[in-house]
C-alpha cells in the first residue's frame, strides 16, 4: 500500500549541521530535497550553503580512492565464501589502502600469470598437433641437421597460393622438400615445409613475397630442436591447466578475504560523499540552517523523539502544510506486509504510482497465482514448479529480485496443485488412469462451455473490480465526475450482461425492455461523464473481458499436451522407454507451463485490470540513508 507522507522542516544552529546530517543519514527516514522554506519563514533571510573548499577537496580525494578500490574490486571474483566485513570507518581509509596495496599487486601478478598460461596453452593446442605430425618426417629425412623448416598459416580461400608455393619450392630445391598439412580450424590451414638448409635464403625470400603468415613459436621454444620442442610442449600442455587452476584458486582465496572489506569501504565512501553532497540541498542564515524533505507520517513521531534524545531542543523538527501545488511532488513510499511484498516486483515494469492513488500489489498477490493455477491446474506440474521455486528462493536468497520471483513461483506452484486437485489432473490424465485422481467440479477437456463461462465470469468480476478501485480512488481525492464515469462503465457492463441473460433465456423474457432501458440510461450517463468517444472505450472494455478466455485456451492446451504425452509414452513397446519419452514431453510442457501462464497472467493484469485504475507518474521515495 502507498503510505501517507508529510512534509518536514529541520531547523538548528549552524554548528550542529554536520551532526544533524549524520543523524538523518543513520535514521534513513527523510527524503531530503532543496529547501523551499516554510510559509512563515521569509526566504530573503536564507541562502544556499556554499560548499567549503575543504569539503570539495575531501570529496575529490574520496572519489579518487573509490576509483582505486573499484579497480581492485574488478580484479577480484565473486565467491560465496566471502568474509563478512565489520563496520568500517571512512576515516581509516588511508590505513586500509596501505594494507591492501600489496594485495592488489599480488592479484595483478596472478592475473598476468594466468593470462600468460592461457595464451601458452592456446598456442600449444593450436600448433602442437602440426609439429607432432611433422615429426614423422624426421625419420625419412635422417634427422634435421642439414635441413631447415618453415611453418605457414594459409586462409582456405587462398589454397591456390599453396599449389604455387609447392611448385616454386620444388623448382628452387629440385624437388628435395617435404610438406605436412593440418586443418587448424574451418578457415585456416597450417603448412610445414622441410628442405635442405642450402636453399634457406631462396625459400624465405619467396615466402616473404606472398600474403601468408609464418607460424611463430613462443620465444622459449624458438631456438630448440624440433623433437625437444614437441617434448617440452607435451609437458607444458599437461602442466598448464594445473597452473591456471592454482592461480584461480589463489585469486578466489584473496577475493574471499578482501572483497567484502573493499565493498564496505566503497559504501562508506559513498555515504561520506552523499553527506557532503546533501549540503547543496540545505539553506542557512547567519546562525541557522534549514533542511526540508518528506517522511512517512507514521515515522514522524519516532523521528522527533530520536532527535530530542540527540539534540534536546537545539534542533527542531516540525511538520509543514502541504500546498495543493505540491501534491504531485510528494514522493511515493510503497510498503506491504511481508507475505505480499515480493509481488511488488510487478510494479518494477511500470512507472511509479502517483501519490494518493492505489497500490495494486495486494490485488496482484491474490489474482496472479489464481490465474496461474487455473491455467496450469495439474498436481504434478504444480509440485515441480513449487519445488523449483523453493530451490531458487534459497539459491538466490541474497538477490532480492530473483528471490522475490522465486517466492511468487512457489505460490503459483501451490495454486496449480490446488486447482489440479479440483480438476483431477496429475501429469495430464495419469492420475485418472492410476485411479487416484478424479475431477471434483468438471473435466477441463470435456466441459468446454462451463470452463468458458467460468473464465468469462472471472473476467467480468476482475474488470468491474478494477473500475470499483478506480471509482474509490477518485472519490477519495474529490474527483466526483471521474468517479461517476467509472460507475457508468460498471452499470453499462451489468446492463449488457442482463440483456444477454434475457436473450439467452437465462432470465425471463419480460425483463428485456427494462434491460434495454437500463442499458440506454447507462450509455447516456457514460457519454455525459466521459465524452462522445466513451462508447468506443466501452467496446475496448468488452474486448478486455473476452481476453480472459485465454485462461481457458492456454489451460486446455496444457492439459491436452499432457494427455498426448501419456498416450505417446503408452505407444512405445518398452515400459522404461515409454516413461522416458513421456517424461521428456512432460518436461517440455512444464517449461511451457511456467512461461506461458506467467505471460498471460501478467498481461491480464497490466492491460485488462490496471488500465481501469492505475495512475503512474509518481516520484519514488528515496530516504537519505547509509549503504
Give the pLDDT mean for 525-547.
88
Residue 158 gets the label, from left (phi > 0), alpha (psi -120 to 50) or beta, of alpha
- Nearest CA-CA partner of 125 in 10, 4, 283, 234: 234
Which residue ranges make up each domain of the chain? 5-49+282-332, 118-240, 358-612
Residues 457 and 603 sit within 8 Å (Cβ to Cβ): no
**pLDDT tier for residue 363 given thresholds of 50, 70 and 90:** very high
Residue 37 pLDDT more than 70? no
Contacts of 483 (CB under 8 A, 6+ apart): 470, 471, 472, 474, 475
CATH topology of 5-49+282-332 equal to that of 118-240?
A: yes
Measured distance CA(353)–CA(359) in Å, rounded: 7
Give the pLDDT mean for 577-583.
86
- For 130, how many CA atoms within 13 A lie in the half-sphere containing its CB? 26
Measured distance CA(492)–CA(472) in Å, rounded: 18
Q: What is the model's pLDDT at position 86?
A: 64
Residue 221 pLDDT more than 70? no
Residues 421 and 440 sit within 8 Å (Cβ to Cβ): yes
Return the percentage of the chain with pLDDT > 70, whole number: 89
Beta strands in 216-324 (DSSP E): 283-284, 288-296, 316-320
Residues 8 and 294 sit within 8 Å (Cβ to Cβ): yes
Q: What is the model's pLDDT at position 508?
A: 81
Question: Per mean pLDDT, which of 60-64, 414-418, 613-617 is the most reliable?
Answer: 414-418
Handedness of CA 599, 605, 611, 615 (dihedral sign): negative
Q: Distance of alpha carbon 353 from its chain centroid, rounded?
A: 21
Lowest mean pLDDT among 77-81, 297-301, 376-380, 535-539: 77-81
Residue 596 pLDDT more than 70? yes
Q: What is the model's pLDDT at position 78?
A: 77
Contacts of 559 (CB under 8 A, 6+ apart): 377, 378, 423, 425, 428, 444, 445
Q: What is the model's pLDDT at position 141?
A: 53
2 phi and psi angles, rounded to 5 deg: -90, 120
Please tell us whether the domain made up of 5-49+282-332 is placed in CATH 3.40.50.10240.
no
Mean pLDDT across the chain? 84
Q: Which residue has the cell 511451457?
A: 592
- For 138, how many CA atoms within 13 A lie in the half-sphere containing its CB? 14
Question: Per mean pLDDT, which of 427-441, 477-491, 560-574 is the most reliable?
Answer: 477-491
Hey, what CATH topology would domain 118-240 get?
Answer: Alpha-Beta Plaits (3.30.70)
Return the percentage of the chain with pLDDT > 90, whole number: 29
Q: What is the model's pLDDT at position 40?
A: 46
Give residue-wise pLDDT tens across range 409-432: 999 999 999 999 999 899 888 888
Residue 38 pLDDT more than 50? no
Give residue-wise pLDDT tens across range 183-214: 766 777 777 788 888 888 888 788 776 556 66
Residue 140 pLDDT more than 90? no
Residues 369 and 595 sit within 8 Å (Cβ to Cβ): no
* Structure-block grid coordinates of residue 610: 490496471
Give the pLDDT mean for 21-40.
78
149 phi and psi angles, rounded to 5 deg: -130, 155
Taking residue 623's Cβ as centre, other Cβ atoms within 10 Å add up to: 19
Lowest mean pLDDT among 59-63, 85-89, 273-277: 85-89
Q: What is the DSSP string of 540-603?
A: HHHHHHHTTHHHHHHHHHHHHHHHHHHHHHHHSSSHHHHHHHHHHHHHHHHHHHHHHHHHHHHH
Q: Distance of alpha carbon 226 from its chain centroid, rounded?
A: 53
Residues 286 and 45 sit within 8 Å (Cβ to Cβ): no
- Nearest CA-CA partner of 451 in 548, 365, 366, 364: 548
More confidently predicted of 283 and 383: 383
**pLDDT tier for residue 39 given thresholds of 50, 70 and 90:** very low
Give residue-wise pLDDT tens across range 242-287: 999 999 999 988 888 888 888 888 888 888 888 888 888 888 887 8
3-state SS, 370-424, equals HHHHHHHCCHHHHHHHHHHHHHHHHHCCCCHHHHHHHHHHHHHHHHHHHHHHHHC
Handedness of CA 428, 431, 434, 437 (dihedral sign): negative
Residues 101 and 210 sit within 8 Å (Cβ to Cβ): no
Q: How far apart are the first and last CA of the chain?
A: 25
Amino acid at each position: 500500500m502507498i503510505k501517507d507522507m508529510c512534509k518536514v522542516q529541520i531547523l538548528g544552529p549552524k554548528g550542529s549541521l554536520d551532526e544533524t546530517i549524520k543523524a538523518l543519514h543513520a535514521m534513513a527516514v527523510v527524503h531530503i530535497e532543496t529547501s523551499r522554506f516554510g510559509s512563515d519563514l521569509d526566504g530573503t533571510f536564507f541562502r544556499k550553503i556554499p560548499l567549503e573548499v575543504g569539503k570539495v577537496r575531501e570529496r575529490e580525494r574520496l572519489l579518487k580512492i573509490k576509483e582505486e578500490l573499484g579497480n581492485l574490486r574488478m580484479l577480484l571474483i565473486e565467491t560465496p565464501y566471502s568474509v563478512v566485513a565489520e563496520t568500517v570507518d571512512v576515516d581509516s581509509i588511508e590505513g586500509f589502502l596501505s594494507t591492501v596495496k600489496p594485495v592488489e599487486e599480488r592479484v595483478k601478478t596472478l592475473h598476468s600469470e594466468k593470462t600468460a598460461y592461457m595464451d601458452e596453452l592456446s598456442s600449444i593446442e593450436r600448433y602442437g598437433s602440426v609439429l607432432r605430425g611433422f615429426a614423422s618426417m624426421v625419420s625419412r629425412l635422417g634427422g634435421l641437421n642439414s635441413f631447415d623448416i618453415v611453418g605457414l598459416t594459409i586462409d582456405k580461400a587462398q589454397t591456390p597460393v599453396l599449389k604455387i608455393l609447392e611448385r616454386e619450392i620444388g623448382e628452387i630445391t629440385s624437388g628435395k622438400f617435404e610438406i605436412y598439412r593440418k586443418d587448424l580450424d574451418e578457415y585456416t590451414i597450417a603448412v610445414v615445409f622441410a628442405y635442405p638448409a642450402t636453399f634457406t635464403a631462396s625459400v624465405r625470400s619467396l615466402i616473404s613475397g606472398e600474403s601468408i603468415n609464418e607460424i611463430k613459436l613462443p620465444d622459449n621454444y624458438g631456438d630448440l630442436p624440433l623433437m625437444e620442442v614437441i617434448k617440452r610442449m607435451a609437458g607444458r600442455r599437461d602442466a598448464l591447466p594445473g597452473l591456471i587452476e592454482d592461480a584461480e584458486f589463489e585469486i578466489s582465496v584473496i577475493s574471499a578475504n578482501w572483497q567484502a572489506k573493499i565493498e564496505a569501504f566503497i559504501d562508506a565512501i559513498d555515504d561520506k560523499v552523499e553527506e557532503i553532497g546533501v549540503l547543496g540541498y540545505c539553506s542557512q542564515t547567519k546562525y541557522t540552517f534549514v533542511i526540508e524533505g518528506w517522511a512517512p507520517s507514521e515515522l514522524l513521531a519516532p523521528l522527533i523523539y530520536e532527535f530530542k534524545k540527540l539534540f534536546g531542543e537545539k534542533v527542531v523538527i516540525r511538520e509543514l502544510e502541504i500546498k495543493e501545488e505540491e501534491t504531485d511532488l510528494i514522493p511515493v513510499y510503497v510498503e506491504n506486509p511481508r507475505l505480499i511484498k515480493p509481488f511488488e516486483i510487478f510494479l518494477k515494469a511500470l512507472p511509479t504510482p502517483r501519490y494518493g492513488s492505489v497500490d495494486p500489489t495486494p490485488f496482484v498477490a491474490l489474482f496472479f497465482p489464481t490465474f496461474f493455477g487455473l491455467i496450469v491446474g495439474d498436481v504434478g506440474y504444480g509440485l515441480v514448479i513449487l519445488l523449483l521455486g523453493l530451490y531458487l528462493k534459497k539459491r538466490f536468497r541474497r538477490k532480492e529480485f530473483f528471490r522475490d520471483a522465486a517466492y511468487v513461483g512457489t505460490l503459483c506452484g501451490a495454486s496449480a496443485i490446488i486447482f489440479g486437485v479440483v480438476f483431477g489432473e496429475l501429469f495430464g490424465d495419469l492420475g485418472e488412469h492410476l485411479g487416484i485422481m478424479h475431477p471434483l467440479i468438471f473435466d477441463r477437456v470435456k466441459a468446454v462451455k462451463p470452463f468458458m463461462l467460468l473464465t468469462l465470469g472471472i473476467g467480468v468480476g476482475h474488470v468491474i473490480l478494477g473500475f470499483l478501485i478506480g471509482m474509490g480512488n477518485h472519490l477519495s481525492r474529490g474527483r466526483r465526475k471521474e468517479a461517476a464515469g467509472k460507475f457508468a462503465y460498471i452499470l453499462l457492463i451489468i446492463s449488457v450482461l442482463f440483456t444477454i441473460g434475457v436473450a439467452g433465456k437465462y432470465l425471463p423474457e419480460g425483463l428485456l425492455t427494462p434491460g434495454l432501458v437500463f442499458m440506454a440510461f447507462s450509455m447516456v450517463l457514460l457519454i455525459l461523464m466521459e465524452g462522445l468517444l466513451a462508447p468506443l472505450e466501452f467496446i475496448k472494455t468488452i474486448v478486455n473481458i473476452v481476453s480472459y478466455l485465454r485462461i481457458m485456451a492456454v489451460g486446455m492446451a496444457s492439459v491436452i499436451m499432457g494427455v498426448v504425452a501419456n498416450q505417446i509414452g503408452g505407444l512405445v513397446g518398452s515400459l522404461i522407454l515409454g516413461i522416458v519419452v513421456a517424461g521428456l514431453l512432460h518436461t517440455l510442457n512444464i517449461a511451457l507451463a511456467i512461461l506461458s501462464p506467467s505471460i498471460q497472467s501478467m498481461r491480464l493484469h497490466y492491460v485488462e485490470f490496471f488500465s481501469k485504475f492505475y495512475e503512474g507518474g509518481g516520484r519514488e521515495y528515496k530516504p537519505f540513508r547509509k549503504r
